[in-house]
Amino acid sequence: MANLQLGRELSARTLMFHAAIAQKVGLSATEHKALDLLSRAGALTAGQLAELTGLTTGAITGLIDRLEKVGFVKREKDPNDRRKVVIQPMTEKMEREMTPLFASMGARMEQLLSRYNAQELALINDFVTQSITILQEETTKLQEATSKPEN
């Protein structure tokens, strides 16, 4: 039971850290994390970003509007299909405004990880990877249950 409580505490502290980062750059926590997913995936259509985040297309449109207004993304015509628009993360602005906010945390996490040997790191990586899979699957279940009309 204590292990599950530790997981809950880690989750809460992670969420609060990212909320503080988002606030520093004028974003909501959801906008910040959607931008993070977009920056790692590269340019995506609004539909692809909606699928990646689990947000509705209507919510994604508003989110993109807000991210574009503050200069973290821009809309561009898809070079392969002029009918489509892709959302391009503005990586230079992100690096300039957001990366420094993670410097201390990154250094401290690297220091923490250096305490573990290769076998221990492999176990930690497996745990985190499996946790990510479970979180994605459980999020999908919740979203599907929410989107189904009740009889």
- What is the count of structural domains for the chain? 1
**121 assigned to some structural domain:** no
**150 assigned to some structural domain:** no
Q: How far apart are CA 20 and CA 11, in angstroms?
A: 14
- E strands, 1-147, are 44-45, 73-77, 85-89
In CATH, what number is assigned to the domain containing residue 8?
A: 1.10.10.10
Split at pLDDT 50, 70, 90, the class of 149 is low
The answer on pLDDT for 150 being more than 60 is: no
Average predicted confidence (pLDDT) for the chain: 91
Two structure tokens written together for 93: 């602005």
Share of the chain above pLDDT 70, in %: 95
Q: What is the pLDDT of residues 31-57, one digit of tens each?
A: 999 999 999 999 999 999 998 888 888
- At residue 144, the pLDDT reads 81
- At residue 31, the pLDDT reads 94
**14 assigned to some structural domain:** yes
Residue ranges making up the domain that contains 53: 2-91
Q: What is the pLDDT of residues 91-132, one digit of tens each?
A: 999 999 999 999 999 999 999 999 999 999 999 999 999 999
Q: How far apart are CA 15 and CA 12, in angstroms?
A: 5
**13 assigned to some structural domain:** yes
64 close to 49: Cβ distance less than 8 angstroms:
yes
Angstrom CA distances, 75 to 37, 51, 95, 96, stand at: 16, 18, 19, 20
**124 assigned to some structural domain:** no
**51 assigned to some structural domain:** yes
The answer on pLDDT for 62 being more than 70 is: yes
C-beta atoms surrounding 22 within 10 Å: 20
Angstrom CA distances, 65 to 8, 29, 59, 69, 83, stand at: 33, 15, 10, 6, 19
